[in-house]
């Protein structure tokens, strides 16, 4: 085995992390959620330098969440639900504007990751069901238009569109997802999509029930 293996994306680790983030009574453990995202960063890094901006921005969101977890109220940041309860009860969500003198709230930061997770779910679904001549750049752009573009400023949409043009070929993507071949890759993608979707849907319900789907 290569000594660099833990730095390489492994879809199995992605699946395990998101699976482990869900408790039997449907609490979402932030630690597993963020581990899943860290694995996704490795995936983006494997896609090439064009994904640098996307990868750095995502890392930035993870760091904000970890900052909250290390803080004096860190124990409230164990699950999505406990975070929401804590920030709501203490007026920390930030329904009106972004604070300038303190880090952005956990709720608004996680919301960004949450929306991006939908993009990923759509993209992986398109990749899994694509034909041999499918174009990942296009799948990526379509998923982005559906899930994420409406929330992004103009310059972000331009920058992201550029990154998508540099997307590796379908064959190369499957090699990153599964060195053991396309069939195995499709099975892994299905498992990944299932686990992402479950976590996404529960988070969505929590946010919707508190009117928190549009935090600035
Ligand atoms: C192909 C695999 C990629 C899946 C992960 C998708 C990550 C999407 C992140 C896009 C980042 C683009 C640049 C920055 C955008 C920010 O403005 C935006 N951040 C996110 C994570 O959407 C919104 O955050 P903000 O500006 O309200 O703090």
Residue 162, domain extent: 10-209
What pLDDT is stored for residue 17 in this prediction? 98
Helix/strand/coil for 79: strand
C-beta 57 within 6 A of ligand 1: yes
125 found inside a domain:
yes
What pLDDT is stored for residue 6 in this prediction? 75
**Burial of residue 1 (number of CB atoms within 10 Å: 0-12, 13-18, 19+):** exposed
What pLDDT is stored for residue 116 in this prediction? 97
What pLDDT is stored for residue 83 in this prediction? 98
What pLDDT is stored for residue 4 in this prediction? 60
3 found inside a domain:
no
172 found inside a domain:
yes
Task: List the beta strands (DSSP E) in 73-215.
Answer: none
C-beta 167 within 6 A of ligand 1: no
Could you tell me the CATH number of the domain that includes residue 63?
1.10.3520.10
Ligand 1 atom at minimal distance to the Cα of residue 148: 22
What pLDDT is stored for residue 7 in this prediction? 84
Q: Averaged in consecutive runs of 10 residues, what is the pLDDT profile of the chain (216 residues)?
A: 73 97 98 98 93 95 98 98 98 93 96 97 97 96 97 96 94 94 96 98 98 97
Task: List the beta strands (DSSP E) in 15-105.
Answer: none
Residues 6+ apart with CB under 8 A from 78: 29, 30, 31
Using the Cα atoms of residue 60, residue 65, residue 70 and residue 72 in order, give the sign of their dihedral. Answer: positive
148 found inside a domain:
yes
Question: Structurally, how many domains does the chain consist of?
Answer: 1
Ligand 1 atom at minimal distance to the Cα of residue 140: 1
216 found inside a domain:
no
**83 CA distance to ligand 1 centroid (A)?**
21
115 φ, ψ to 5°?
A: -65, -40
- Residue 41 parent element (H or E): helix 30-46
Ligand 1 atom at minimal distance to the Cα of residue 216: 27
ipTM (interface pTM):
0.96
127 found inside a domain:
yes
What pLDDT is stored for residue 47 in this prediction? 92
43 found inside a domain:
yes
C-beta 144 within 6 A of ligand 1: no
């Amino acid at each position: 085995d290569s000594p660099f293996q833990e730095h390489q994306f492994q879809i199995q680790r992605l699946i395990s992390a998101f699976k482990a983030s869900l408790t039997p009574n449907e609490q979402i453990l932030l630690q597993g959620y963020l581990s899943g995202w860290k694995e996704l960063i490795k995936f983006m890094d494997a896609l090439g330098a064009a994904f640098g901006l996307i990868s750095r921005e995502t890392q930035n969101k993870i760091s904000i969440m970890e900052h909250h977890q290390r803080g004096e109220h860190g124990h409230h940041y164990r699950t999505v639900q406990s975070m929401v309860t804590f920030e709501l009860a203490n007026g920390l969500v930030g329904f009106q504007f972004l604070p300038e003198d303190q880090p952005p709230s956990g709720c608004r930061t996680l919301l960004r990751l949450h929306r991006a997770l939908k993009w990923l779910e759509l993209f992986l679904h398109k990749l899994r069901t694509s034909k041999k001549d499918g174009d990942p750049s296009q799948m990526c752009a379509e998923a982005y238009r559906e899930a994420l573009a409406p929330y992004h400023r103009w310059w972000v949409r331009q920058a992201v569109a550029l990154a998508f043009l540099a997307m590796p070929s379908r064959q190369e993507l499957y090699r990153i997802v599964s060195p053991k071949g396309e069939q195995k890759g499709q099975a892994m993608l299905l498992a990944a999509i299932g686990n992402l979707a479950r976590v996404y849907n529960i988070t969505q319900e929590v946010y919707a029930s508190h009117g928190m789907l549009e935090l600035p």
